[in-house]
Structure 1
Amino acid sequence: MIKLLSFFARFYTPGKFILFLKTTGKKVHFLPKLLTIFYCMQDQDTPKFMKLILMGAIGYVILPFDFVPDVIAGVGWLDDAAVLAAAMHFAGAYIKPEHWEKTNRILPFCRRSS
């Protein structure tokens, strides 16, 4: 499990994440949750192991070539959504209201949907 997380975490960099948000983010319905776990990962109170999980989840989502390639219309984002849902579940205790507030400042049209 740690090796798999580490593998996907290496695809995460702040630059790649910003590029993903600029190019693909508008098309992704789970963007608010993705930003929320990003803010949780940046929080100094989040344990290192949880940061690895969140970094791995973000890395998996921004990687275009995963188990179900994102270019497949209709189903390409399903595996990404599942990975993100699992990360939200594991990180639930560490996601603070302020993480949702930061997301809502960036994406004012979204509402908390935990």
Structure 2
Amino acid sequence: MSDITYKSTWTGDPNAHPLSSFSDSMTGSCLCGSITVTIHDTELFTKPRGHLCHCSNCRKVSGSFASSNLAIEKQKVTYEDQNATLKVYADTDTGSAGGFPQHVGAEDGDVSADSEAGV
């Protein structure tokens, strides 16, 4: 049997990210790491703006029964695309809200943002 090396810090370890580190902003990335999204908002965890969408396209993109979304002002979101992998397609077949342009990481297919509503 071969030796397995594990990461010293797991992504989901809540102790690796103290709440104070999210006081002004929160940063995340796609799976390949090419696209980084930062939300700059001091009320990120105190002002409710979450939204679950159950339309067929959101279910397909999320791989679940719903897609978890954050409705936030566009100017509070910044992107870094170090490998120019961010692609946009117009998702007009949603059955709700007239459609959304989706930003997708071309390398890993991760849907990172809706350009009209924010993230």
TM-score for the superposition, normalised by structure 2: 0.27
Which one has more relative contact order, counting CA pairs under 8 Å at least 6 apart?
A: 1
The higher radius of gyration belongs to 2
TM-score for the superposition, normalised by structure 1: 0.28
